[in-house]
Structure 1
Amino acid sequence: MKVRVLGCSGGIGGGARTTSLLVDEDILLDCGTGVGDLAFEELLRIDHVFLTHSHLDHIALLPMLVDTVGDLREQPLIVHAAEDTLRILRAHIFNWLVWPDFTVIPDRIRPMLRMQPVEVGGIVHLGARRIQVLPALHSVPAVGYCLDCGGDKLAFSGDTTVCDKQVEALNGLERLRYLLIEAALPDEHQGLAHAARHLSPSMLHSVLDRLTGDPEIFVTHFKPGYAETLEHEVQAYQGRLRPQVLLNGQCFHI
């Protein structure tokens, strides 16, 4: 499996793109503004979108994606997410007010969009590829994901604060090679990070201290106004693992 970072910022401006990862040619993990950099032909190849949660920076281009390619596809675009997240999408996005309900266009038998619920601990099989749903703890219902095709694994935390169940799940993954994990706000705003259920660098460090494996750590979701401070604080970690900053355009192979 090849994973390409389309967006990994917690905001926009100056070329920043919000969260989305392209897996091979047909899967997106989250659907933030980074998806807008794909060519039209690349958009046509997307068959599955796995959402971590319902916040706009992670779903912003999902409505545009299905609107752009939906009528040119032979099969519906499938959105995989926790049932609570799908409920939010139905109520607040695909509600005919903000955006048309593509789950009934052109009709319920042949929709352009299909929503598929997932549960923590569940695994979606796409050929030889396995997408496992991981716990997360955020201000809205949220999950993370682990990608696996029989060898090394890549895990993506999604948006989360310190989550004991996620740490336990990560420690239970064999051959975890890469962990993409967030740190959105610097330590001087740790109170806000707690309230918003994000990680600060010191909170991230406490998570890294508890990991028993030896994955390469890449930190994502920096708020643009704090990027320099966050990079310095993240890389000040003195523990066993050596966190790096996730970069737009970066690729991973598992």
Structure 2
Amino acid sequence: MKYTKLLTLLGLNKNEADLYLISLQLGPSTAIQLAQKVGVTRQMIYTLLPQLIEQGLMKETAHSSKRLFQAIGPEVLNDRVKNIADQVKEAVPILKTREAANSSVPILSVYENPISMREWYRRFMNEAKEGDQLFIWATNKTWLSADPDFLEEFLAFKKKNKIKDYILAPNTPESRAQAEKLKEEQPYAEYRFTDSWWHTNAEKWLWKDSVSYLTINENATNLIVLESKALAEIEYYNFRQIWHQLKP
């Protein structure tokens, strides 16, 4: 059924979810009627019904000496969602204490879509200090379009904390227009434009000991992050060599 998967995300198994949805449609029904509609045995239905009643999703009524069962209105699901959210909120700090010490700084991380890439941005916003520096080989592509709402938050964080961006970009009208467009959001960014630019939709970012490679495509935007102090030092050296050769 259409909403079975949704209910399983709220902790019900498939049979429980199907029973709840069918009962919601039928209204007060006997156990036999529900078993037939759900497609389970009589023994199974008498196992499922008490489980849903205990979870507050169904109730038992009586009519003309018949035992009837009825789903509680779907508003009850809001309470279930809130309860799960409260449990998750309580569990996260505990789980963080059990996280492996080196798991927050892996040697190599691959984020295969803009949503998973948020982990890197969140890490940056949690760890970056005021005045930190970010070195970027940029393209003339609008990387903001990959996840606009979240990346606007990222830009706001950089602006508030005066993060200094040093950006190498292609010397093209599109690239200069993009830099001008983002001037207000990135007041601490400094650009230098090169005529010897790369003809790919890839960017490279340097921050602390991480080297990040970002590919920008409509259906395949991803981020590869390499954590290595030694390799980062090489990349910083290469960046500065090019930077100082270009005019401000």
TM-score by length of 2: 0.32
Which structure has more relative contact order (CA 8 Å, sep 6+)? It is 1
User: Rg: which structure is higher?
Assistant: 2
Q: Which has the higher strand share?
A: 1
Between Structure 1 and Structure 2, the one with more helix by share is: 2
